[in-house]
Chain A
């Protein structure tokens, strides 16, 4: 896009010095309850994967400098899709239903891997 088009499309978000958000991430998984543990999956395992694969990579980072955002814009839409794909690869112990990402208290984004949102 031209400089003018960037300004029209992104407004204040086009400031080249960047700006920060306190993102809030929700990960929804589903699966049958294991009879011996009473759990769908071990939450400690899920926490570790989210910590290692998502938070370590993105927390307090300038998203524009990361390889996955070298050619795509780090909108919350695209970040949501990235996180879904990372967790789908990294957490095989339950079905990943949804990644929900709050950018601010007033807006949020949900990605279900292309499935219709059920709830």
Chain B
């Protein structure tokens, strides 16, 4: 089994706010991230898939196809978007890096062929990233 990781970058804005909290609670918990006008990040996405190497092609998965799936399912939806207002998952969930990683997993997992999804890593900044290995891990 070989693991293959493909990176992509996208820029998006968000803010953190839970309508179930009072304004004071939102401010206390989320701090500067609670500004309703939002703020941006240059996210780096790393998608790792695993599978056996096809003896004919020498590939685990066609990198071009993986790139197309990542573009179509994730980047087209999230790049240069205000996540809270434009991405359906975040109309009801707070677009934290944790929830972004889970949303990316849920978008990609059913679309992959010939290999299975092993890990989704999302860097919010170079110093902060989240790994998601699927709900059973």
Of the listed stretches A33-41, A45-53, A101-109, chain B binds: A101-109
The A contact surface, by secondary structure, is mixed
B positions within 8 Å CB-CB of A: 1-8, 48, 50, 53, 55-60, 62-64, 118
- Inter-chain CB contacts under 8 Å: number: 56
* B6 closest partner in A (C-beta): A107
* A103 closest partner in B (C-beta): B63
Partner of A75, one of B6, B8, B50, B58: B58
A81 touching B2 by the CB < 8 A rule?
yes
B2 touching A106 by the CB < 8 A rule?
no
A75 touching B3 by the CB < 8 A rule?
no
Of the listed stretches A17-25, A54-62, A110-118, chain B binds: A110-118
Does A97 make an interface contact (CB < 8 A)?
Answer: no
B3 touching A110 by the CB < 8 A rule?
yes
A88 to chain B, nearest CB (A): 15
* Most central of B2, B64, B118 by chain A CB within 10 Å: B2
A positions within 8 Å CB-CB of B: 1, 9-11, 72-75, 77-78, 80-81, 105-112, 114, 117
A74 touching B58 by the CB < 8 A rule?
yes
A75 touching B64 by the CB < 8 A rule?
no
Complex CA–CA separation, A73 to B62 (angstroms):
14
Residues of B within 8 A of A109 (CB): 2-5, 60
* Most central of A74, A110, A111 by chain B CB within 10 Å: A110
